[in-house]
Structure 1
Amino acid sequence: MEVRKITVIGTGYVGLVSGTCFAEIGHEVTCCDINEEKISLLRQGNMPIYEPGLKELVHKNVSEKRLYFTSNIAKAIQAADIIYIAVGTPMSQTGEADLTFVKQVAKTIGENLNGYKVIVTKSTVPVGTGRLVASLIRTHSQSSQPFDIVSNPEFLREGVAIQDTMNMERAIIGASSEKAFQIIAEVHKPFNTKIVQTSVETAEMIKYAANAFLATKLSFINDIANICERVGADVTKVSEGIGLDKRIGHQFLQAGVGFGGSCFPKDTAALHHIAKTYGYDFKLIDAVIETNFNQRVFFVEKVEAALGSLQGKIISVLGLSFKPNTDDMRYAPSLDVIPLLREKGAIVKAYDPIAIEEAKKHIGYQCTYFEDLYETIENADACVILTDWSEIKELDLVKVKSLLRKPIIIDGRNLFDLNTMHEHDFMYVSIGRPVVRTKTPIQDAI
């Protein structure tokens, strides 16, 4: 394998994980960012994000002199053979992807182009961004140095991002030339993955199509769950039954309080905007987005139905991040559920094993934060579950019942068996399953 000098611009989840893994397979990698504070933290060995195993892998590759961090982006560009663009593309007010950071990077690359380089977009971007990046580089380049454009979208799952990179299912490489394709394909060979060669535009569309399809599966099963509740069926068994069909598969068929994170919400919105821009009415994606938001509203209605009025009621919220094993709060269900509970007069106590500091930036002090799981539950009128952390899955139900004012759990992740909750004499409200009632009636509105 030829060792390449790779510069990764952007040190968020995608950039930091990808750069570290490229170093791990033997390349010389420089991760850079305009945020000098973030670079300073990384140089000190402190991670700006929580991702299992990342800190150890960064330390290893820094000590073995394959991984470097800098805020001198110009110098990093000039030293590289391959430049990865891994900056954020957040959702704008109109729903389209905001390409401000991508454009800034393209301009900087153009200003510092000093020889042939392969410019790779790792960020999730709309179709046509590759052409835009190429145009901006040419506009801002002081010379006629050659370069090629590649779209190489990521498919990382937060919480297992390193595993997903080192054992990637596929590498989509949309290249503007055969030479660029061969270079990026060679970089990916140590990952022992299926390599798919496409045009730049096709690669850009693959990323959006993949995320939109998975989001559709989640919204579909949540709609099925809502019907199950009305007809007395159990959505977990429905999911199991349909998931055994190989054409459907069992993944992303877990009913819950709705999807969040850095990808599905903004990518479905961006795909909707792309379709609208090109004159196509994408009704299915509209329904996916609407179902996902409604699921959070319905969940709060479940809490209110279980307790009657929420005015002055103490609610224990377990889990703040959008999924376990990450501190990522982007579009997390808690960001909608907690304000809705507060609007109805509830007093909220909140727990998360990792994401409290990040949650404070988004939720502020609409709730009281606790680092101890059982202290969060103590003296609450009901317990609400939003994230399926292992600590929450392993709750001591006997202890929980002794701490709650009323034995009421409203579970947005379907963590517990219905028979188990009946045996422990809880009122247990989950998603798409029959309500479990206490043997001794409690004052509730369901």
Structure 2
Amino acid sequence: LFTERRTSELIKYAANAFLAVKITFINEMADLCEKVGANVQDVSKGIGLDNRIGRKFLHAGPGYGGSCFPKDTLALTKTANDHGSPVRIVDTVVQVNEARKKAMADRVIQAAGGDVKGKTIGVLGLAFKPNTDDMRDAPSLDIIPALQAAGARIKAYDPESMHEAGKLMSDVEFCDGPYHAVDGADMMVLITEWDQFRALDFDRVKKLLKSPTVVDLRNVYQPADMKRRGFNYASIGRP
């Protein structure tokens, strides 16, 4: 496909904005699932079977971040507003996504019994997605300061991004592994779904935690399995 410059710019902005819409849509469906007792992962699979929709970018979580989606959605909305042709759907997506990242801290506080003052939280994953050290607009940059403002102490581990995170966060104890991060913590919070976190020894995790509480913001673990192991487990959009 060969186009002139303005069209090519809009193709890039529109593509990333559309994917941001999909992510935000399934995140809001996850909230609804929690209210009505449905499972957002099954909803994602069900609508993804429709080839007009597709399965990609339908994974509920703490909101999108990174170098492309936040930048391109804002660029598209500014361009549209500057030309008197607002893209209200994308405007709303930007607002909803920002609110969602901040709301994730409230979920953690709720799982802790409504108060994290004086408690230690072991955070796994800081980058905006796995397999990168990119911290740009990562959900952790909203979640961790909000938990600190509520009185929590943070221990954190990420396989790649701790050097970058250290430039953007203060008063965080960066750890040398996931078990170090949860050792002595009152709860564990998964923010980024690195593969190594999928294979944790949860018998060991349970022994290291002061309280067997896990908040999974990426739906990596199975609720029935976590409950069978004796964890107080919370995830996104699943009963």
Following superposition, the deviation at residue 349 of structure 1 comes to: 0.3
Superposed, 1:133-212 pairs within 5 Å as 196-212=1-17
The answer on whether the counterparts of 1:218 and 1:258 sit within 8 Å (CA) in structure 2 is: yes
Instruction: Say which is worse superposed, 252-261 or 388-397, in terms of deviation.
Output: 388-397
Q: Indicate the residue corresponding to 1:237 in structure 2.
A: 42
CA contact (8 A) 1:317 1:386 kept: yes
CA distance in 2, matches of 1:330, 1:236: 27
The one-letter amino acid of 1:400's match is V
The one of 279, 303, 327 equivalent to 2:84 is 279
SS at match of 1:350: strand
| Cross-structure match for 1:297 | 102
Matching of residues 78-117 of structure 1 within 5 Å: none
Match for 1:391 among 176, 184, 196? Answer: 196
Deviation track 1:23-50 (CA, whole Å, cap 9, x = no partner) reads xxxxxxxxxxxxxxxxxxxxxxxxxxxx
Unaligned runs of 5+ in 1: 1-195, 435-446
Match of 1:325 in 2: 131
User: Matches of 1:297 and 1:356 in 2, distance apart?
Assistant: 21
Comparing both structures, which one devotes a greater share of its residues to strand? 1
Amino acid of the residue matched to residue 149 of structure 2?
E
Following the alignment from structure 1 to structure 2, what is the Cα–Cα distance between the partners of residues 393 and 292? 25
Contact 1:338 1:366 in 2 (8 A): no
1:381 and 2:186 are equivalent in the alignment: yes
C-alpha distance in structure 1 between counterparts of 2:228 and 2:197, whole Å: 19
Q: Name the amino acid aligned to 1:332.
A: A
Distance 1:290 1:242 in 2: 24
| DSSP-derived class of the 1:338 partner | helix
CA distance in 1, matches of 2:111, 2:27: 20
What's the counterpart of residue 109 of structure 1? none
Aligned partner of residue 67 in structure 2, secondary structure: coil
Shift of 1:414: 0.5
2:122 aligned residue: 316
Contact 1:384 1:409 survives alignment (8 Å): yes
Aligned partner of residue 357 in structure 1, secondary structure: helix
**Structure 1 contact 382–404 (Cα < 8 Å) conserved:** yes
Cα distance between partner residues in 1 of 2:203 and 2:100: 29
For residue 63 of structure 2, what is the amino acid of its counterpart?
G
Q: Do structure 1's residue 354 and structure 2's residue 131 form an aligned pair?
A: no
Match of 1:216 among 21, 44, 48: 21
Q: Which amino acid aligns with 2:234?
A: V
1:252 and 1:211 map into 2 onto residues whose CA distance is 11
Distance in 1, Cα, partners of 2:238 & 2:101: 16
Q: CA deviation at 1:346?
A: 0.3
**Who is 2:65 aligned against?**
260
1:440 aligned residue: none
Q: CA deviation at 1:393?
A: 1.1
Matched AA of 2:181: T
Q: Distance in 1 between matches of 2:86 and 2:16?
A: 19
Give the number of equivalent residue pairs.
238
Question: Which has the higher mean CA deviation after the structures are superposed, 420-429 or 334-343?
Answer: 420-429
Counterpart of 1:197 in 2: which secondary structure?
coil
> For residues 64 and 125 of structure 2, what CA distance do their matches in structure 1 show?
14
CA distance in 1, matches of 2:78, 2:100: 22
The residue aligned with 2:151 is: 345
CA contact (8 A) 1:339 1:366 kept: no
Structure 1 residue 254: deviation in Å? 0.1
The one-letter amino acid paired with 1:302 is R
Q: Is the 8 A contact 1:382 1:409 kept in 2?
A: yes
Instruction: Identify the residue that residue 142 of structure 2 maps to in structure 1.
Output: 336
Structure-1 separation of matches of 2:171 and 2:99? 22
Summarize deviations over 1:270-316 as a string: whole Å, max 9, x none: 10100100002221011111121122222111111111211101001
CA distance in 2, matches of 1:228, 1:327: 32
Higher relative contact order (CA 8 A, sep 6+): 2
Moved over 3 A (4+): none
Cα deviation, residue 366, structure 1: 2.6
Q: Among 90, 93, 99, which residue is 1:288 paired with? A: 93
- The TM-score normalised by the length of structure 1 is 0.53
Residue 391 of structure 1, CA deviation: 1.1
- What RMSD over aligned residues (CA atoms) do the two structures have, in Å? 0.9
Are 1:424 and 2:191 matched, yes or no? no
Displacement, 1:231? 0.8
Query: What are the Cα deviations for residues 314-333 of structure 1, in whole angstroms up to 9, with x where unaligned?
Result: 00110011011100000001
Measure, in 1, the Cα distance between the counterparts of 2:213 and 2:133.
27
Aligned-pair identity in percent equals 49
What is the SS of the residue equivalent to 1:325? coil
Letter of the 1:323 partner, please give it: K
3-state DSSP of counterpart to 2:2: strand
Aligned to 1:415: 220
